[in-house]
Amino acid sequence: MKNKDILKANQSVQNMYRRENRVCWLLLIPFMSLFFLFTLLPVFSSVVLSFFEYDMISFPSFTGIGNYLRMFTGDKVFLTVLGNTLAFAVVTGPLGFIISFLLAWFINEFNPIARSILSFLFYAPALVGNAYFIWTVAFSGDSMGYVNNFLISFGFITEPIVWFKDVRYNMTIIMIVQLWMSMGVSFLSNIAGLQNVNKELYEAGAIDGVRTRWHELWYITLPGMKNILLFGAVMQIQSVFSIGAIVSQMAGYPSINNSVDTIVNLISDVGTMRYEMGYAATLSVFLFLMMAVFRVLVGNLLNMLGSDD
């Protein structure tokens, strides 16, 4: 917007900017070409592929909307998996988001040294990547697993529970692990965002009648870091909808009765095990659209921050 005003005002400056723009484009080329090659192109090609049947060896054959029909009407597993994905997203998404913000808020109150140490501690699980493996030790199905051993020694159970093979427990456990892992990028960005809120606003707020920290949070802090929150929300949506590795590593694939498998698991199963690339592409297109819808919903929700309604 700003640029345009100036451009209207001064033709010569416009020329200068054009030249500068050219340099910008030049600098963008390395990134854009990679981005196009490895992100955009695959997205488009998967949209195209979703209308084909393709086993990676023989040539693709056109099936029209056959794959989409199969997804909604012919695949029982898909419906189960969709439910699981939504359950994970709805529970761990907002919860993880809120927890990571609240933690960031608390940690922000400490002095800088304690703050860095604490933020490192909370960020560590996400940093290490496959750290969730320690949970498989804790919830090992053997009577020597930590949780089983604890429960047995205190007399709550008499026989070890095979946690990940029991529909009663596996979903909950994986949600806990996912929450534990969710102190990721959004947590770090929240800490950064909190420090970028204009300090003067707090003073002004105090004069204008902000009485409690909750007031402060709702009317000043949150609106002040709306953009950061939106960024965090996008990351969170992306991460909760693509939960998959954790599930297959902990509960195995297929999990018992497909009770915790997610769309991502199904995609990699269809693609790499059954070599049905067309159908896998269809599923990922669906996942992509679902994420996009959620992104719009969350964006609207965040816009309501700081309002009095």
166 near another protein, judged by CB under 8 A: yes
Does position 119 interact with another protein (CB under 8 A)? The reply is no
- Count Cα neighbours of 100 within 13 Å in the Cβ-side half-sphere: 31
- Separation of alpha carbons 150 and 162, rounded Å: 14
What b/e string do you get for 26-41 counting C-beta neighbours within 10 Å, with b at 16 or more? eeeeeeeeeeeeeeee
Q: Which stretch binds another protein (CB under 8 A): 135-143, 186-194, 220-228, 232-240?
A: 135-143
The only residue of 42, 94, 254, 306 in contact with another protein, by rule CB under 8 A: 254
Q: How far is the CB of 115 from another protein (least distance, A)?
A: 39
Interactions with another protein, residue window 44-103 (CB under 8 A): 53, 55-58, 76
Q: Which of 264, 271, 268 is nearest to 242 (CA)?
A: 264
Sign of the alpha-carbon dihedral angle for 227, 229, 234, 239: positive
Decide: is 142 part of the binding site for another protein (CB under 8 A).
yes
Question: CB of residue 43 vs another protein: minimum separation in angstroms?
Answer: 19
C-alpha distances in Å from residue 282, one per residue of 42, 68, 200, 236, 264 = 13, 7, 51, 23, 12
- Gap between the Cα atoms of 105 and 304, Å rounded: 20
Measure the CA–CA gap between 50 and 45, rounded to whole angstroms.
Answer: 8
Alpha helices in 70-157 (DSSP H): 76-108, 112-128, 133-138, 146-153
Residue type, 98: I
Residue 23 in the binding site for another protein (CB under 8 A): no
Residue 256 interacts with another protein (CB under 8 A): yes or no? yes
CB of 145 vs another protein, minimal distance in Å: 9
157 binds another protein (CB under 8 A): yes
Site stretch for another protein (CB under 8 A), options 22-30, 156-164, 173-181, 209-217: 156-164
**Binding residue count for another protein, defined by CB under 8 A:** 38
For position 153 contacting another protein by CB under 8 A, the verdict is yes
Q: For binding to another protein (CB under 8 A), which residues are involved?
A: 53, 55-58, 76, 140-144, 149, 152-160, 162, 165-167, 248-249, 252-254, 256-257, 268-269, 272-275
